[in-house]
Amino acid sequence: MKSFVGMFAGPVVAAALASLPLAAGAADGDLVNPYAGREDVVEEGGSLLNQYCSHCHGPWAVQGERPRDLRRLNLRYGDYAMSTFYTTVQEGRPPKGMPPWKGILDDEIVWKIYTFLQTVQVED
């Protein structure tokens, strides 16, 4: 039993940490970006980001504050980038200045923005 728990404790803890303040356990596998790979929504997604997010995250996600740099989603959150993004948009991080957008921004808008963001991710 002990070794069984040990086997799984690592990955589970890592997932919870990486995806804070997300509901623990939700993984990217549970989510589907309906626009994944759709080049035709990239510009619209960027424009929506400009309208709703750019005041903190910069137009086209370009700005200088590292902690809120959305071009670093994949670099920072790795396999949990999509779920971290989605959950943070839904629930917000009010003490860090991110308001919750659940019930305000439709999933369609959120995923279009995510689709745009995937085109501007940086390696380092």
Partner 1 sequence: MTMKRVSHVALTAIVGAVLATASSAGIAQKGQWLHYGGNDYSNNRFSDLTQINADNVHKLKVAWIHSLGTLESQESTPLVVGDTMYVTSSTGPRYVFALDARTGKTKWVHQPEMPNDFFATVCCGLDNRGVAYANGKVFFGRLDAKLVALDANTGRRLWTVTVENYRNGHAITSPPLVYKNLVVTGIAGGEYGIRGFVAAYDQDTGEQVWKTYTIPGPGEPGNETWRGDTWKTGAASTWGVGSYDPKLNTVYWATSNAGPWGGHERSIDSSDFYPYTNLWTASQLAFDADTGEIKWGYQYTPNDVWDYDGINEAVLHDLRIGGRTVPVLMHADRNGFFYVLNRQTGKLISADPFVTVNWATHVDLKTGRPVEAANNEKRPQLGKWARNVCPNLIGGKNWSPMSYNPNTGLVYLPAFNMCMDIANKEEEYTPGRFYLASEFDLSKAGATGEHLAMMMAWDPIKKKEVWSIKEPLMFASGAMSTAGNLLFYGNVEGTLKAVNARSGKVLWEFDVGTGILQSPITYTVGGKQYLAVVAGRVKGPPSFFGQIGQRVIDASPEGGVLVVFSL
Residues that bind partner 1 (CB under 8 A): 47, 50-52, 54-60, 62-65, 68, 92-101, 104
**Least distance from partner 1 to the Cβ atom of residue 56, Å:** 5
Find tokens 């990239």 and name the residue.
42
Q: Output 26 or 101, the one with its CB closest to partner 1.
A: 101
Provide the residue count of the chain: 124
Contact 14, 77 (CB under 8 A): no
Contact 39, 116 (CB under 8 A): no
**Least distance from partner 1 to the Cβ atom of residue 65, Å:** 6
Q: Output 51 or 108, the one with its CB closest to partner 1.
A: 51
Question: Cβ neighbours of residue 12 under 8 Å, at least 6 residues apart?
Answer: 24, 25
Q: Output 34 or 99, the one with its CB closest to partner 1.
A: 99
